[in-house]
Amino acid sequence: MPKPISQTRKAFFKGAAHALSFFVVIVPFAMLFGVLSAEAGLGPWETQIFFVAVFAGASQLAALQLMQDQAPVLVILATGLAVNLRMMMSSVALTPHLGAAPLGIRATIAYFPVDQRFALSLAEFDKNRSQSVAEKVAYFFGTVTPITAVWNVSTAVGAHLGRAVPDSWGLDFAMPITFVGMTAAMLTTLPHAVAMAVSVAVTLALWAMPYGTGLLVGAAAGMAAGAITEAWRARA
């Protein structure tokens, strides 16, 4: 019978191995954030602190753009937090697996970004074999350790390259393509498509509203439209 410590070590390395598949997404995404931050006039250290404090790529990019557009600070914060609200679902998904860990561990876990795919992999683990909380915690830290390292390094590389990228590369359009690509890959159901269409239509219609507030109204309308469409389909 192996000692528990080797079981948790095994879980840690298993998590680290699973993290490799995330690098394809993280490296370009983090570099893009670094480059765009530099173009926006942030120094490498400011960029890195911004990243370490928030650690949520899409909301960082959103906040970056709105700050450049001189949007009111409340609009910037509301938009950035709205982008991250979906993480509440990951928090819910992790709770059955890691909720029994000590509060200090849970408070540490909460710092790291967890996407839906990762929460699913924990559930997948449960099917094969019931794991101890210690093993799941080890698996979690095994996953986020290389992810955090690669994310930090890629951000730093981007922040240093930043100003060397010439305007002719059209990097102004990197963010629209990134956000549209993320969204398009998420358009898996009719309510998702309705949410997107309503949000975009309302935001564009309200574009004349004081800067950025049309976006908040549009996003709220889109969320409501998605939820209503889902409820309506569930009843039908």
Partner 1 sequence: MIDRPTFWLVVVVLGGGTYLIRLSFLGLLGNRPLPLWLVRALRYTAVAVLPALVAPAILWPPATEDAPDPVRLGAIAVTVLAGVLTRNMIAAIGAGGAAFYLLPMVLAAT
Which DSSP symbol is given to 30? Answer: H
Q: Does 88 bind partner 1 (CB under 8 A)?
A: yes
Q: Does 172 bind partner 1 (CB under 8 A)?
A: yes
Distance separating alpha carbons of residues 33 and 117, to the nearest angstrom: 22
Distance separating alpha carbons of residues 99 and 92, to the nearest angstrom: 10
Q: Does 107 bind partner 1 (CB under 8 A)?
A: yes
Scan residues 123-162 and list those touching partner 1 (CB under 8 A).
none
Distance separating alpha carbons of residues 137 and 14, to the nearest angstrom: 12
Q: Does 91 bind partner 1 (CB under 8 A)?
A: yes
Of 161 and 182, nearer to partner 1 (C-beta) is: 182
Contact 137, 14 (CB under 8 A): no
Scan residues 195-214 and list those touching partner 1 (CB under 8 A).
195-196, 198-200, 202-204, 207
Scan residues 27-46 and list those touching partner 1 (CB under 8 A).
28, 40-42, 46
Of 44 and 230, nearer to partner 1 (C-beta) is: 230
Lay out the site mask for partner 1 across 7-26 (x = CB under 8 A, - = otherwise).
-----------------xx-
Distance separating alpha carbons of residues 218 and 171, to the nearest angstrom: 26
Which DSSP symbol is given to 114? Answer: -
Which residue from 87, 137, 77, 95 is spatially nearest to 114, judged by alpha carbons? 87
User: Total binding residues for partner 1 by CB under 8 A?
Assistant: 94
Of 21 and 128, nearer to partner 1 (C-beta) is: 21
Question: Taking contact as CB under 8 A, which single stretch among the options 12-20, 91-99, 129-137, 146-154 is the one that binds partner 1?
Answer: 91-99
Please report how close the Cβ of residue 122 comes to partner 1 at its closest, in angstroms. 12
Contact 177, 216 (CB under 8 A): no
Q: What's the burial of 207, exposed, middle or buried (CB within 10 Å: 0-12/13-18/19+)?
A: exposed
Of 5 and 89, nearer to partner 1 (C-beta) is: 89
